[in-house]
A and B are shown apart, each in its own frame.
Chain A
């Protein structure tokens, strides 16, 4: 096992390590698309917050292709896919008492999303 040496600390920290994957994979969604966050309840690691499961939002922007944490954390491979910032209206998440103007933006992978076919 490699041990981090004091002389390497600065370089290691400043270099970092992105989870971005330089593969031109096709995106399932585009900015402006209406999407539905899947209502799934995996037992293992996921970055799909419970408060958006089953809720409707709109794709704000495409961040590009990243390692998929659900499979990566389980040792099942990196399964690279697009990550989007999805805009959820505060009222969609919290009901009529929430502000009509406010919104929550959540970063979600392709596998967390379905097209919102109801609208």
Chain B
């Protein structure tokens, strides 16, 4: 597939491609030559997931839930419908459930069988989410994994790990950070990180405003 990355080193332009890249290019050429794939459709797919579908979508959902109690209730009662209010629908988000973090309960999400992930609100999954170490350790040692992500939890906080083995996709509603009382919805959305919506991070702290 076409990549648009800038490279720092000259030799990256001339070095032979890796085995996977070569295989993908060969497959793409074959499928195109046989008329099974329209290269413009591939470009449109890549553009969609690079520019329109990603964790900024989920951040808007979370920020709305923080400022609007009625929306928060709709989100927890029927996540698919509440998320669709933003137009965030489609592949790998057809059946959504939102899990609310509280001072007593911390939720985190994994797919031990493969890499199931809520695309419409988070985009495509990061490499570590698909890796065997995360997938096995998230269920076996969630507190250890969280610690490595920089999330320390007190012993009296209950950790709930959600293994998305079926068709439901999960989004974590993180706790609103302290010190954000005066912030607008858009400012709050900027604090919501991808990792906080997987449940392996916390939202960013607000920048202190100059007096």
Contact with B along A61-104 (1 / 0, CB 8 A): 00110110000000000000001010000000110000101111
Number of chain A residues whose Cβ lies closer than 8 Å to a Cβ of chain B: 38
Question: Does A3 sit within 8 A of B, measured CB to CB?
Answer: yes
A-B pairs with CB below 8 Å: how many? Answer: 116
Q: In the bound complex, how far is the Cα of B165 from the Cα of A5, in angstroms?
A: 31
Q: Is the CB of A20 within 8 A of B167?
A: yes
Distance in angstroms from A79 CB to nearest chain B CB is: 14
Q: Is the CB of A108 within 8 A of B165?
A: yes
Distance in angstroms from A89 CB to nearest chain B CB is: 11
Q: Is the interface of B mostly helix, strand, loop or mixed?
A: loop
**A49 contacts which of B36, B44, B165 (Cβ < 8 Å)?**
B165
Q: In the bound complex, how far is the Cα of B163 from the Cα of A78, in angstroms?
A: 22
List residues of A whose CB falls within 8 A of some B CB.
Answer: 1, 3-6, 8-10, 13-20, 47-49, 51, 63-64, 66-67, 83, 85, 93-94, 99, 101-109
List residues of B whose CB falls within 8 A of some A CB.
Answer: 35-38, 40-41, 43-45, 48, 53, 87, 89-95, 97, 112-113, 120, 139-140, 142-143, 155-168
17 A–B pairs (Cβ distance < 8 Å), ordered by A = A3-B35, A3-B36, A6-B43, A9-B41, A13-B45, A13-B90, A14-B87, A15-B90, A47-B113, A47-B165, A51-B112, A63-B167, A94-B140, A101-B158, A102-B160, A104-B163, A107-B166
